Structure 1
Amino acid sequence: MDAPSEVAFGQLLFGGIGFMLLAAALLVVFLVTYQKRLLQQQLRLRAAEAEYQQQLLTAVIEAQERERERIGRDLHDGIGSTIATAKLLVNRLGSGPPADDAGQLLGLVQEIMGAAVLDVRSISHSLYPAVLARFGLAEALQHLVDVSNETGALAIGLAVDYPRPLPLAEELALYRICQELLHNALKHARGATRLDVRLRQQGPRLVLEVEDDGCGFVPLAPGATKAASGGAGLRSIEVRVQMLHAHLRQQSAPGAGTRMAVEMDAPEPAG
């Protein structure tokens, strides 16, 4: 017959083994449950990412169609009507004997054709800013601000600290972002007395800012999808920000103006 101490030891041993088996079973259940939840979370994230990518693709298509519509309208309403008017004047000059006002009509034709040339250049610049390819982003922004100031809608200031130019594709994306931000500010910043554009490069960071002191707005709630909630202009900005692997930050409040900033990495060249 076993001694009491041996019986107690055996009970403790079997109890310990049972506890270890139970703990191992619980650990397996926990790991399986954790892996299942992790997989479900990954699937949700992938679905959200796929939806966001689809929204960005939709924004790209909408921006392209909107740009085509604008160009078509400019060609039809602007250059088309201008050239049609010039054609009528030329036909009048070419039909019948010279009129007493032939010189005046010829001068008018020259003036109209000069305006058409300016319209063509304006549309061409909106399609692809030649000054950007020739002189870089700083000069292109200066030209953009100068042209915008000619409208007289709102005085625009520009401050540039940009010692290390980026590749042309990235500069073009930043230019288009600034172009859209300026358009939005001029359109929506009611009551503004100033509009400032700043491009600064500090160490490994580059920041493009457009700020006004207008009416402001209520920013999107944290976690809201800008591409889904904003207008076509904001969605096109989001697409380019995504391309640059940058971040778009909004600071605004009703009556307190608006600051839009694009922040991105611009690593210093080695050596």
Structure 2
Amino acid sequence: MPDNLYYLIVVGMLGVFLLIALMIMLQVRNQNKLLYQQQKMTEAEIAHQKDLLQSVITSQESERQRIGADLHDEVGSVLSSLRLLIEKHAQTRTENDDPSFTSQSKSLIDRVITNVRQISHNLSPRISGSYGFFDAIHELADTVNQSGSIRLKLDFDENIAELPIQENTAMAVYRVLAELINNTIKHARAENINISVSVMNDKMDMTYTDDGIGFPADRHQAGRGMGMQNIESRLNMIKADWQFPQKNAKGFAMKIAVPLK
């Protein structure tokens, strides 16, 4: 009888241990399943956010192009018509009319027409293929250099204009460079900007530097406000890699690797 009791106790304890082990295994399995589902939900949410971001950027680009076209076609034509009207009035003016009024008015209208064309070009640059892309970059550099406030130097590899760059990639990189230049002019107190572009292993490597005041190392992760967030969003959209190699030195530096395939 005692042997049977001992046997029953051992069997009962084993049964309890097995039951506990089974419950633990089920609990771990459920937790792993929950973690897997949460991970999938997080990945789906990230993918959804990326899709939303791409839609917003695409929508912004379309709106910019529309506004740029409207400025060029409608406002530009109105200003040109106004200039012709002033010229016509100048031909019929009397001796009492002030001739300087006509010349000053034409000069002001010409200046406004130039500004409208420049704004229109910035909103909707004519980028089609690699030639259009690099032409747009050169025009952007010319505009900055003509201002006289800062010097922008471009350093491109030979035959780089023959790169097989897609239009959406070219537009994104153009916007990124324009935003970086804008940040430098507004915040960096720099005298010089350098942009170098080279090609290696189906990637376009770009380095942007200025000799301004830079910003602290702990802000490299956070970026410099909304402008840097827009830059990173556009780079994410074209699956580009970037880094800030100059964390403690004077000035600002950013390296960007853009896949071409």
> Could you tell me the TM-score, scaled by structure 2's length?
0.70
Q: What secondary structure does 2:197 align onto?
A: strand
TM-superposition CA deviations, 1:27-69 (whole Å, max 9, x none)? 1111112323443454456556656766776677778778988
Alignment of 1:125-140 (within 5 A): 125-130=121-126, 133=129, 135-140=131-136
What are the ranges of 5 or more consecutive residues in structure 2 without an aligned counterpart?
A: none
Distance verdict in 2 for CA 1:141–1:186, change over 3 Å: same
> 1:231-250 counterparts in 2 under 5 A?
231=226, 233-250=227-244
Aligned length, in residue pairs? 258
* Conserved 8 A contact 2:184-2:210: yes
Q: How far is the alpha carbon of 1:244 from its aligned partner?
A: 0.6
RMSD: 4.7
Provide the residue aligned with 2:147 in structure 1: 151
TM alignment of 1:12-31, pairs within 5 A: 15-31=13-29
Question: For residue 251 of structure 2, what is the aligned residue in structure 1?
Answer: 257
Contact (CA 8 Å) 2:129, 2:166: kept in 1 or not?
no
Residue 31 of structure 2 aligns with which residue?
A: 33
Q: Distance in 1 between matches of 2:185 and 2:119?
A: 19
Evaluate the alpha carbon distance shift between residue 164 and residue 135 of structure 1 in structure 2; reply closer, same or farther with a 3 A threshold: closer
In structure 1, the residue corresponding to 2:34 is in which secondary structure?
helix
- Following the alignment from structure 2 to structure 1, what is the Cα–Cα distance between the partners of residues 221 and 111? 48
Q: Does the CA-based 8 Å contact 2:195-2:207 persist in structure 1?
A: yes
CA contact (8 A) 1:79 1:119 kept: no
Q: Indicate which of 225, 243, 255 corresponds to 1:230.
A: 225
- Percent identity among equivalent residues? 21
Q: Give the SS at the match of 1:207.
A: strand
User: Residue 138 of structure 2: SS of its match in structure 1?
Assistant: helix
What secondary structure sits across from 1:130 in the alignment?
coil
Change over 3 Å in CA distance of 1:44–1:135 after alignment to 2: closer
Aligned residue runs from structure 1 range 1-271, under 5 A: 15-43=13-41, 46-47=44-45, 84=82, 87-96=85-94, 115=111, 118-119=114-115, 121-130=117-126, 133=129, 135-161=131-157, 162=160, 164-190=163-189, 192-218=190-216, 224=222, 230-231=225-226, 233-250=227-244, 256-267=250-261
Contact 2:212 2:252 in 1 (8 A): yes
User: Following the alignment from structure 1 to structure 2, what is the Cα–Cα distance between the partners of residues 24 and 238?
Assistant: 48
- Superposed displacement of residue 82, structure 1: 8.1
Pair 1:94–1:255, CA change in 2 (3 A):
farther
Query: Structure 1 length as normaliser, TM-score?
Result: 0.68
Query: Secondary structure of the residue that 2:212 maps to in structure 1?
Result: coil
Partner amino acid, structure 2, of 1:145: A
Deviation, structure 1 residue 143: 2.7
Q: How far apart, in 1, do the equivalents of 2:229 and 2:81 lie?
A: 35
Deviation, structure 1 residue 256 = 1.8
Change (3 A) 1:256 1:168: same
Q: In structure 2, what is the Cα distance between the partners aligned to 1:70 and 1:105?
A: 31
Unaligned runs of 5+ in 1: none
Contact 2:86 2:102 in 1 (8 A): no
- Conservation of the 8 A alpha-carbon contact between 1:206 and 1:263: yes
- Larger CA deviation: 27-36 vs 213-222: 213-222
1:245 match: secondary structure: coil
Deviation at 1:211, TM superposition (A): 0.9
